[in-house]
Amino acid sequence: MQMLDSTILNTSLPAIAKELRESPLDMQNAIVSYVLTLALFMPVSGFLADKFGTKKIFIFSLLVFSLGSLLCALSQNLTHLVVSRVVQGIGGSLMTPVGRLALIKTFDKNEILRALNFAIVPALIGPVLGPLVGGYLVDYLSWHWIFLINIPIGLLGIFLSMRFMPDYKSSTIKFDLKGFLIFASASLFLSIALESFGTAKNTTPVLLIFILGFLMIYFYYRHAKKTDNPIFPLNLFQVRTFRVGILGNLATRLGISAIPLLLPLMVQIAYQETAVVSGWIVAPMALTAMFGKSFVVKILNHFGYRRTLMTNTFIIGILICMLGIPGINTSIYWFIPIIAVLGFFNSIQFTSMNTIAIADLRHSHTSSGNSLLAVNQQLAIGFGIALGLVVLKLFERSSGSVGGDIHLAFRYTFFVVGSLTFLSGFVFRRLHFRDGDNMKSEG
């Protein structure tokens, strides 16, 4: 449901923008507000799951997400839509980390890779259907249906959760409210600064907000050093695999996260194609991602995490750069083989990064480490979307580089984003060649 919602919105933004009388390139608030809410509230997911149980919190998250979807469908302007997306984000902030926490607590270390890899396959149905369903709903019904479709899925999820969701609790229920507020403030300031950079006429306030965000991170560091039970213990970062997994997730997703938004926008704005066509262009990425899941375990068992992650990131960076090669007169279907191959390697990347990050965590750090990993992923997605749009707007406004050619601005943006992704592969050099051996499956 969560993946379906995000991918449907990507292909439907131009239609929503038209009805709400907004520029498609200014609609990032509808996406960033959701991602930012995820990042703000995910830190409390581990505490709430430990205190009230994974089952109750998971069902609550589905209820709130479904309510937010209904409010989105009823939105009359961009402000209403952004507020409704925040409600959705509160539900989504608990959904993913609590679901993954239940899996981590259920399976042994040598089974987690297969369990997480298997469990993510249903979630990939969303990206397969999202662009196509979104395109058809927008072209033949209205954009409101892209949110209403979540409600029956949410009700089905609640029914299945009541029957099958395990209910894990913990005796450790002390919550670090001060640490949460400091960390949430840091996430908020950093996200606002990056989002505002592309639209602000005066960059001085934006830079001040950006600096304030880093100051809040420093204040959190000071706070965590002298607090007995911080929301994110600093000794998490003494675990090399967790440290590299977090940094690699952040660096790599900056580039990868921009593609599902930039490509549909380019197809509809530069090539003047319909939402349905842009959906068909993007859909192969999710299909090959599902196909790739069946190879991840074998690849990691054979090559190890270090070699797999470095090589895979380099390949992804090159593929993103290749999206910038076709000219305006080239058939848009040239993008399909690139996006299909990209989906396969993305699948390997996400499973590998997520499992190496939790490979060496102690049982007592599972909840906090899992929550921080989820926060980091959502911040990276938000930063990636904002970064992609910032670079696009900078090229669009630079008459010297693109001369008002919006398609050329998209092409240059793919080159920049792809290059940054390629360089992020060097982060994984910090891994030891034996790291993650305890996660390898038998047979």
- Find out whether 94 and 45 touch, Cβ atoms under 8 Å: yes
Compute CA 329 distance to the chain's CA centroid, rounded to the nearest angstrom. Answer: 32
* Nearest residue to 412 via CA among 430, 429, 396, 431: 396
pTM of the model: 0.76
State the Cα–Cα distance between residues 231 and 47, nearest whole angstrom: 8
Comparing 65 with 119, which gets the higher pLDDT? 65
* Range from 16-20, 61-65, 126-130, 326-330 carrying the lowest mean pLDDT: 126-130
The predicted-structure confidence for 398-416, as pLDDT tens digits, reads as follows 755 566 678 888 899 999 9
* Nearest residue to 312 via CA among 347, 338, 283: 347
pLDDT score recorded for residue 91: 92
Q: Across all residues in the chain, what is the average pLDDT?
A: 82
Q: Is the predicted pLDDT of residue 443 greater than 50, yes or no?
A: no
Q: Calculate mean pLDDT across residues 49-76.
A: 91
Q: Calculate mean pLDDT across residues 119-143.
A: 70
The predicted-structure confidence for 336-349, as pLDDT tens digits, reads as follows 899 999 989 988 99
- Find out whether 171 and 363 touch, Cβ atoms under 8 Å: no
**Structure tokens, 118:** 């298997």
Comparing 358 with 165, which gets the higher pLDDT? 165
Q: Is the predicted pLDDT of residue 442 greater than 60, yes or no?
A: no
Amino acid 416 reads V
- Find out whether 27 and 53 touch, Cβ atoms under 8 Å: no
Give the rounded percent of residues in the chain with a pLDDT score beyond 90: 19
| Residue where the block lists tokens 């480490």 | 369
State the Cα–Cα distance between residues 85 and 79, nearest whole angstrom: 10
* Nearest residue to 241 via CA among 300, 303, 315, 305: 305
State the Cα–Cα distance between residues 161 and 246, nearest whole angstrom: 29
The model's confidence at residue 126, banded by pLDDT at 50, 70 and 90, is: low
Q: Is the predicted pLDDT of residue 304 greater than 80, yes or no?
A: yes
The predicted-structure confidence for 421-434, as pLDDT tens digits, reads as follows 999 999 999 888 88
Task: For the chain, give the number of residues.
Answer: 443
Superfamily of domain 2-175+231-439: MFS general substrate transporter like domains (1.20.1250.20)
Comparing 73 with 397, which gets the higher pLDDT? 73
The model's confidence at residue 70, banded by pLDDT at 50, 70 and 90, is: very high
HSE, side-chain direction, 13 A CA sphere, residue 169: 7
The predicted-structure confidence for 387-399, as pLDDT tens digits, reads as follows 888 888 888 877 5
Comparing 224 with 130, which gets the higher pLDDT? 224
Cα-Cα-Cα-Cα torsion 238, 242, 245, 248, nearest 10 degrees, comes to -20
- Cα–Cα distances in angstroms (integers) from residue 269 to residues 2, 121, 187, 275, in the given order: 26, 32, 31, 10
The predicted-structure confidence for 150-166, as pLDDT tens digits, reads as follows 899 899 999 999 998 88
DSSP string over 227-262: -SS-SS-GGGGGSHHHHHHHHHHHHHHHHHTTHHHH
Q: What is the DSSP-derived secondary structure letter of residue 434?
A: T
The model's confidence at residue 124, banded by pLDDT at 50, 70 and 90, is: low
Compute CA 247 distance to the chain's CA centroid, rounded to the nearest angstrom. Answer: 14
